C-alpha cells in the first residue's frame, strides 16, 4: 500500500511539473500601447457603460452588416460585462510578459516597484468588477468602475502622462 501511495505522489508530481513542458515561453506580439488600445480600452468602456446602461436589459442585436453586427448579440448583457472584466484581469498577465516594449521602443518598466503595484491594482479592480457582474448587481458594478478608473489613472499618471512616456 505504501508503494502505491508513493507511486501516486510521484506520478502527480511529474504531471504537475511537466504540464507546461514543451510549451514556448510567451512572447509579446504588440507594444504596451497596442495591448492597451486593443484590449484594455474597449473592455474598460464596456465596464464603464454599466453606469448608464443596464446590462440586464441589453439592446437588441444589430441586424445585417458584417460579422461585428451579425454576432453583436451573442455575448451581450451581463455576460459581456463578465467577459470584459476577465479581459482586464488577464491583460494584467499580458502587460508583464518580459520583452514587451513601450510605444517609444523602451522596455516596459517591469522592474519598477510601482509597476507591480499598478498591475495588481488592475487585477484587483477586475476581480471586484467580475464579482459584481456575476452577481448581476448593477449598483456594485457601477461602484466597481471607480476601482477600474483608479487603476487606469494611477498607472497612466506615472507612465503614460509623464515624459518620457513609459519611464518613471
What is the average pLDDT across 130-150? 97
Q: Where are the domains of the chain?
A: 31-160
Indicate the pTM of the whole model: 0.80
Q: Which CATH architecture has domain 31-160?
A: Up-down Bundle (1.20)
- Which of 166, 43, 52 has its CA nearest to residue 110? 166
Q: Cis ω on the peptide bond leading into residue 164 (within 30° of 0)? A: yes
What phi, psi does 165 have (nearest 5°)? -65, 150
Q: What is the pLDDT of residues 62-91, one digit of tens each?
A: 666 776 665 556 677 999 999 999 999 999
- Which of 21, 81, 92 has its CA nearest to residue 52? 81
Q: What is the pLDDT of residues 11-67, one digit of tens each?
A: 445 555 555 678 888 889 999 999 999 999 999 999 999 999 999 887 776 666 776
Amino acid at each position: 500500500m505504501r508503494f502505491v501511495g508513493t507511486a501516486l505522489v510521484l506520478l502527480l508530481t511529474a504531471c504537475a511539473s511537466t504540464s507546461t513542458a514543451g510549451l514556448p515561453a510567451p512572447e509579446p506580439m504588440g507594444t504596451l500601447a497596442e495591448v492597451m488600445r486593443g484590449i484594455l480600452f474597449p473592455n474598460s468602456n464596456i465596464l464603464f457603460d454599466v453606469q448608464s446602461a443596464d446590462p440586464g436589459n441589453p439592446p437588441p442585436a444589430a441586424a445585417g452588416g458584417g460579422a461585428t453586427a451579425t454576432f453583436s448579440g451573442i455575448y451581450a448583457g451581463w455576460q459581456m460585462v463578465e467577459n470584459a472584466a476577465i479581459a482586464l484581469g488577464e491583460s494584467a498577465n499580458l502587460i508583464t510578459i518580459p520583452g514587451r516594449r513601450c510605444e517609444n521602443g523602451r522596455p516596459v518598466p517591469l522592474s519598477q516597484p510601482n509597476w507591480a503595484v499598478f498591475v495588481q491594482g488592475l487585477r484587483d479592480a477586475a476581480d471586484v468588477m467580475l464579482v459584481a457582474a456575476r452577481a448581476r448587481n448593477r449598483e456594485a458594478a457601477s461602484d466597481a468602475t471607480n476601482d477600474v478608473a483608479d487603476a487606469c489613472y494611477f498607472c497612466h499618471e506615472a507612465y503614460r502622462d509623464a515624459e518620457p512616456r513609459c519611464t518613471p
